[in-house]
Amino acid sequence: MVKENRSTNLSLVFAPRRPEGPEPVRWFSPLLQQGFTVRARVGFTIRELLCDQFGIRPDYLSGRITTIFLNSRAIDDPAMSRVAAGATLALSAAMPGLVGATMRCGGYYAAMRSDISHHDFASDDAHEDGEIRVKLFNLLMAELGPGFLLRGILMPAGDLADLLAAQPKEFWEGCRSVLLEKSPVEPEILQASLRGLPADEPVALRVIFEE
């Protein structure tokens, strides 16, 4: 019998950005950089995962996402490495200097980091439902973060409670709706509810940024 994936559901809706205010996604920057869990069909290549499942355009992948790490190993061709359940995928736009040039996918200086490059090529791994960890860096936090948050991510209840507790009043002023298990709740009640869950229990978080 396959174990059913169950989690508490939380949805946040943010009002459009004020002309003089910051982009609401910035409140989630530490989370996006430290990494978050997503459910996906695994066993596909990085390119298939990002473009076919996460909706990232192929031209954006090739032109904007210049650095990719799979399980801390640099990737040169996202079409030639498959992502297994439990993997960590880190994505970055161009980084400055020699480090950025060295880490760039398929770059001129790629040979300089051959000892940390990923050498697994695409194989006939089984396709199945699984979870992976995604990390976004620099410009990609603002550009791809909203899409991942809209799709939905998984966070341990304790970590999510800590993240929300650290937010300033501007965060909650911009948050137009808080739904816990599809029922409206006040921020104080939300905090108490999250603290009442086991710290490692997954919470399915979905964030909508209105335009």
Q: What is the helix, strand, coil percentage profile of the chain, to 5?
A: 35, 25, 35
- Average pLDDT of the chain to the nearest whole number: 86
pLDDT, tens digit, for every residue of 59-77?
999 999 989 999 988 888 8
Using the predicted structure, report yes or no on whether residue 114 has a pLDDT greater than 80.
Answer: no
Residue 122 binned pLDDT confidence (cut-offs 50, 70, 90): very low
Q: How many CA atoms lie within 13 A of 56 on its CB side?
A: 23
User: Is 14 in contact with 208 (CB distance < 8 Å)?
Assistant: yes
Burial of 145 (0-12, 13-18, 19+ CB in 10 A): buried
User: Which pLDDT score, from 0 to 100, does residue 109 have?
Assistant: 43
Residue environment code for 22-49, b if the CB has 16+ CB neighbours within 10 A, otherwise e: eebbebbeebbbeebbbbbebbbbbbbb
Burial of 7 (0-12, 13-18, 19+ CB in 10 A): middle
User: Which pLDDT score, from 0 to 100, does residue 58 have?
Assistant: 96
Using the predicted structure, report yes or no on whether residue 87 has a pLDDT greater than 60.
Answer: yes
User: Which pLDDT score, from 0 to 100, does residue 54 have?
Assistant: 97
Give the mean pLDDT of 123-145. Answer: 89
Residue 113 binned pLDDT confidence (cut-offs 50, 70, 90): very low
- DSSP one-letter code for 80: S
CB atoms within 10 A of CB 91: 24
Give the mean pLDDT of 6-31. Answer: 89
Selection from 143, 175, 155 nearest residue 31 by Cα: 155
What is this structure's pTM?
Answer: 0.85
In angstroms, the CA 136 to CA 90 distance is: 6
Using the predicted structure, report yes or no on whether residue 116 has a pLDDT greater than 50.
Answer: no
Work out the percent of the chain whose per-residue pLDDT is above 90: 72
In angstroms, the CA 29 to CA 88 distance is: 18
| Angle between the N-to-C axes of helices 157-165 and 187-195, in degrees from 0 to 180, rounded to the nearest 10 | 150
User: Which pLDDT score, from 0 to 100, does residue 20 have?
Assistant: 72
